[in-house]
Amino acid sequence: MKKRKIIKIDEDKCNGCGLCVPSCHEGAIKIIDGKAKVIEDVCDGLGACLGNCPQGAISIEERNVADHHPSCACPGSVVKDLRKQEEEKVSCLSNWPVQIKLVPVGAQYFDGADLVIAADCTAFSYTNFHEDFLKGKLLLIGCPKLDDADFYQEKFTEIFKTHHINSLTCLHMEVPCCFGLVKLVEEAITASGKNIKFEDVTISIKGKRL
C-alpha cells in the first residue's frame, strides 16, 4: 500500500455554496444533493480549493491506496475507449490513458483486446508507429529503466488475470536496459496462468524494426 494525499470535505460543515468548485482545476469537486463531493480518482490532493471554503469544511488527509492507484490523478487520466469515437479520430490510438501507471486494471476495454506494451521511446524512434503497431490495438507505455519494475510486473499480472487478452505485442528498443520489459511481460503472463499469444519486437535506435 502507498500513501496519497486527498481532499476531505466535512458534510456537516458544507452548506453547498459551490465556491470550491471553480477553484479545483482538476474538476474533482461537484455539488451533489446540496453538498460538495470529491471525486477521489480525479483529486490531485494539492489543495487549491482549501482557501475558497467560507465554512472551513475542506481539509487534506493522507490515505493508504492500492499500488495500482495513480499517485496523482487528474481529468487527463479518466478512462476513455476511443474506438467508440472513430469519426473524431485522427490517429490509431484506441484507449486513454496509455501510461502503465495511470491505466486502471479494471478498464473494460482490455476484454478481448490485442494489446501493445511499448517502451515509450519506440513511438519516437519508429516513424510508422501508429500505422504498423497501433491499428486496431490497445496501448500501454512505460520505461522499464526509469520506473518500478516490480510495479509493472504486478500490474501486468493483474490485467492478464482480470481480462481475456487476445494477443500481446511487446515493443522495445535495442538498448540493453529496454529488454527488461520483455522479461517483465513474460513473467507476468506466466504468473497470470493465461495462455496469451505473444510477440517480441525490437526497434533500433535508427528507427528500424529488427
Query: What pLDDT is recorded for position 187?
Result: 95
Give Cβ neighbours of residue 169 (< 8 Å, ≥ 6 apart).
Answer: 114, 115, 116, 117, 133, 137, 198, 199, 201
Alpha-carbon gap, residue 10 to 73, rounded angstroms: 21
Chain segment 125-134, per-residue pLDDT in tens? 999 999 999 9
Q: What is the CA angle 198-156-143, rounded to 5?
A: 90
Alpha-carbon gap, residue 101 to 69, rounded angstroms: 8
The whole-model pTM stands at 0.66
Chain segment 63-111, per-residue pLDDT in tens? 775 544 444 445 555 666 676 665 565 789 999 889 998 888 888 899 9
Alpha-carbon gap, residue 118 to 139, rounded angstroms: 7
